[in-house]
Amino acid sequence: MMHRREWIIRESGSAGKIVGRGILLVASLLSLTLAANAQETSGVTPSTSAGSVIKGKAPVAKKLLTVRFPRPKSFTLSNGLAVYVLEDHRMPAVRLRLMMRAGSLYEPKPGVAETTAAMLTEGTEKRSYLQLAEVTADMGASLFASAGADTATISASGLSETTDTLIGLMAEVLMHPSFPSDRLDRIKYQQASQVAQRRSNPAALTADLSARVYYGGTPYSLPSPKAAEIEALTTADLTAFHAARYRPNGALLGVSGDVDLNHLKKSLEAALADWKPGAQTVDLPAADFKPHETTRIYLVDRPNSAQTVLQFGNLSVRQNDPDYIPLVVANRILGGGSSGRLFQNIREQKGYTYGAYSNLPAGRWPAVWGASASVRTPVTEPAVREFFREFDRLQDESVPAEELEQAKRSIIGSFAGTLENPDGILGRTLELVQNGMPLDYWDTYPAHIQAVTAEDVQRVARKYLGKDRIQLIAVGERAQIEEGLKKFGPVEEVDASELGGVGGGRGGGRRR
């Protein structure tokens, strides 16, 4: 459906955002606690921060509503597949996600992983792509497969009456794809046709350049494959990769919705009886991750740009690093949503942009702590200056007590909304399993967030942002912005034709 007339204004950040497709959770699953924190009061003192004025008259409940996520049930199939189930009987719906270590990190040559995944629904030994689409559509269901850096995922959703049929379809595309050559040709044609368009897309360009800037020289770089690399792929490449990597050992299946655990177990055992473990390694490739020590600026000329797309960052840590939690708080203060300093300064005070945010992914390998905004071309230089000013301020000044408390409160408080969406809760558990985190992580997370001090924030800001170490990727009208950018560090021009391969930007800067 089109919603061209819908004009959606996004003023909030991504963190804590309640996303759609959630289905409601049975109340009995919840363990709800009201935690009063003596340090938090309703009497916010009138003050003025960058971009905002606080009158302090609104009634704020002092109590911080903290919630405990229900823990999914888990079992292991006889072939070794680990299954996590979050039952929810409020809506007659089910969602399955089968994740295997079959992402681009493990591919023998560029493009194999994502093309293998894309081909799973292009035909099986029993059905053509169209028959697969028809049987799915006639159930009102959906069936997709895709690959990221670490995992390939098969997703199936539908009404819960169709659960067994969905499991059967999932098993069919998993175990018996036929990789028809005419469908591979079609994918090659689609990909090749879109190369030029991608080279004028700032998001695709920054994704590819990020992969090189932060992970260059490691197996995690993963720029999108070139059209010629996709063109060279053969059915044999895909079948070999499929045989080697689509295996139950190291794989995870998440199921949420209106299912019966015992029936589900039987259905899965039956449908996946012939799916056998393989000899593939599930360990991540070794790499020497090195944060940059000196600031560099990478400039991609995009003629006729109305704005400069700015993306700052540097390598930070894995989710299991002790510094990750203080970084979450530091990130919130810097640029987490509309109360972040970047938004307050660069949008609400300066009016340079529609939105300025920072972002800290939770990864199985060191993630890029990044910050970004799109700014009108003539203010590129002052906007970059404000970004660096905010990076410095987080390192040079201790965060005020009230700002620190509000940041923690927003992180912990946003958990209540997550309970609307059991699939989101299941996703958080699967992420823990994927990243090798303890399963009680979310139970103790609020306490760990609460324990972060102003000194912690300053310390991790210094350690991971650092003075003169931030990298900056800028995509815009070179002739108008190059001189200004040179004031912040050496500028390296990158030709768009070296970037923008095919498919989605999938670089190591992305999760999993």
Partner 1 sequence: MNHTSQRFATVGALAAMLCIGGFCQADPPSSAVKVPQIKFTDYRLSNGLRVILSVDHAAPVVAVSVTYDVGSRNEREGRTGFAHLFEHMMFQGSQNVGKGEHMLLIQDNGGTMNGTTNQDRTNYFETVPANQLDLALFLESDRMRSLDISQANLDNQRAVVQEEKRQSYDNQPYGGMSEALQGLAYSSFGYRHTTIGSMADLNAATLEDVRNFFKTYYAPNNACIAIVGDFNEGEAKKKVEKYFGSIPRQQPPPVPDLTEAPLNGEKRKLLSDPLARLTRYEMAFKTVSGDNPDYYALSMLSSILSGGRTGRLNSDVVEKRLALNANAGVQAGRGPGLFSFSGTLSPDGNVEELEKAFDAEIARIQKDGVTDAEIQRARTQARARALVGFGGGGRGGGGFGGGLQTVLGRANALSQNAIFYNDPGRINTQLQRMEAVTAADVKRVANQYLKRDNRVVVVVVPDSDPGMEWTGDVWAQDGKGSH
Q: Which of residues 171-190 bind partner 1 (CB under 8 A)?
A: 186, 189-190
Q: Which residue type sits at 350?
A: K
Q: Which of 61, 236, 279, 286 binds partner 1 (CB under 8 A)?
A: 61
Question: Which of residues 192 and 240 has its CB atom nearest to partner 1 in the complex?
Answer: 192
Q: How far is the CB of 35 from partner 1 (least distance, A)?
A: 11
Q: How far is the CB of 452 from partner 1 (least distance, A)?
A: 16
Q: How far is the CB of 64 from partner 1 (least distance, A)?
A: 8
> Which of these segments, 25-33, 248-256, 362-370, 387-395, binds partner 1 (CB under 8 A)?
25-33
Q: Which of 31, 193, 234, 480 binds partner 1 (CB under 8 A)?
A: 193
Work out whether 54 is an interface residue with partner 1 (CB under 8 A).
Answer: yes
Pairing state between β 491-494 and 82-87: unpaired
**Where do we find the tokens 């350690």?**
463
Host H or E run for residue 44: none
Rounded CA-CA distance 486/478 in Å is 12
Rounded CA-CA distance 328/363 in Å is 13
Q: How far is the CB of 182 from partner 1 (least distance, A)?
A: 10
Question: Which of residues 35 and 451 has its CB atom nearest to partner 1 in the complex?
Answer: 35
Q: How far is the CB of 370 from partner 1 (least distance, A)?
A: 18
Rounded CA-CA distance 414/406 in Å is 12
Work out whether 412 is an interface residue with partner 1 (CB under 8 A).
Answer: yes
Q: Which of 84, 415, 442, 488 binds partner 1 (CB under 8 A)?
A: 415
Question: Which of residues 10 and 486 has its CB atom nearest to partner 1 in the complex?
Answer: 10
Question: Which of residues 2 and 286 has its CB atom nearest to partner 1 in the complex?
Answer: 2
Q: Which of 21, 263, 276, 290 binds partner 1 (CB under 8 A)?
A: 21
Work out whether 307 is an interface residue with partner 1 (CB under 8 A).
Answer: yes
Work out whether 495 is an interface residue with partner 1 (CB under 8 A).
Answer: no
Rounded CA-CA distance 463/443 in Å is 28
Work out whether 468 is an interface residue with partner 1 (CB under 8 A).
Answer: no
Query: From residue 176, how far is each of 101, 119, 121, 156, 172 by CA, in Å?
Result: 18, 11, 10, 16, 5
**Count of residues near partner 1 by CB under 8 A:** 111
**Strands (DSSP E) along 223-305, which ranges?**
252-257, 296-301
Work out whether 163 is an interface residue with partner 1 (CB under 8 A).
Answer: no
Q: How far is the CB of 44 from partner 1 (least distance, A)?
A: 8
Query: From residue 181, how far is each of 117, 122, 188, 232 by CA, in Å?
Result: 15, 10, 10, 13
Work out whether 64 is an interface residue with partner 1 (CB under 8 A).
Answer: yes
Work out whether 297 is an interface residue with partner 1 (CB under 8 A).
Answer: no
Q: Which of 97, 127, 188, 199 binds partner 1 (CB under 8 A)?
A: 199
Contact residues for 415 (Cβ-Cβ < 8 A; gap 6+): 66, 67, 69, 446
Rounded CA-CA distance 184/21 in Å is 32
Sequence length of the chain is 512
Work out whether 374 is an interface residue with partner 1 (CB under 8 A).
Answer: yes
Closest by Cα among 359, 469, 450 to 410: 450
| Pair of tokens at residue 116 | 């293998």
Work out whether 160 is an interface residue with partner 1 (CB under 8 A).
Answer: yes
Work out whether 263 is an interface residue with partner 1 (CB under 8 A).
Answer: no
The DSSP string of 387-453 is HHHHHHHHHHSPPPHHHHHHHHHHHHHTHHHHTT-HHHHHHHHHHHHHTT--TTHHHHHHHHHHT--
Work out whether 337 is an interface residue with partner 1 (CB under 8 A).
Answer: yes
| Pair of tokens at residue 147 | 């690959």
Closest by Cα among 401, 226, 214, 360 to 290: 214
Work out whether 35 is an interface residue with partner 1 (CB under 8 A).
Answer: no
Question: Which of residues 11 and 492 has its CB atom nearest to partner 1 in the complex?
Answer: 11
Work out whether 39 is an interface residue with partner 1 (CB under 8 A).
Answer: no
Q: Round the CA-based radius of gyration of the chain to a whole number and report it.
A: 24
> Which of these segments, 68-76, 275-283, 298-306, 318-326, binds partner 1 (CB under 8 A)?
298-306
Question: Which of residues 25 and 77 has its CB atom nearest to partner 1 in the complex?
Answer: 25
Question: Which of residues 149 and 383 has its CB atom nearest to partner 1 in the complex?
Answer: 383
Rounded CA-CA distance 26/395 in Å is 44
Work out whether 59 is an interface residue with partner 1 (CB under 8 A).
Answer: yes
Q: Which residue type sits at 180?
A: P
Q: What is the DSSP letter of 70?
A: P
Closest by Cα among 89, 50, 84 to 426: 84
- Residues 77-136 close enough to bind partner 1 by CB under 8 A: 89-93, 129-130, 133-135
45 φ/ψ sector (left φ>0, alpha ψ -120 to 50, else beta): beta
Q: How far is the CB of 377 from partner 1 (least distance, A)?
A: 9
- Residues 275-294 close enough to bind partner 1 by CB under 8 A: none
Work out whether 53 is an interface residue with partner 1 (CB under 8 A).
Answer: yes
Q: How far is the CB of 461 from partner 1 (least distance, A)?
A: 20
Q: How far is the CB of 430 from partner 1 (least distance, A)?
A: 20
Q: Which of 115, 267, 295, 305 binds partner 1 (CB under 8 A)?
A: 305
Rounded CA-CA distance 460/121 in Å is 45
Closest by Cα among 180, 125, 118 to 143: 118
Work out whether 217 is an interface residue with partner 1 (CB under 8 A).
Answer: no
Rounded CA-CA distance 358/336 in Å is 6
Rounded CA-CA distance 133/131 in Å is 5
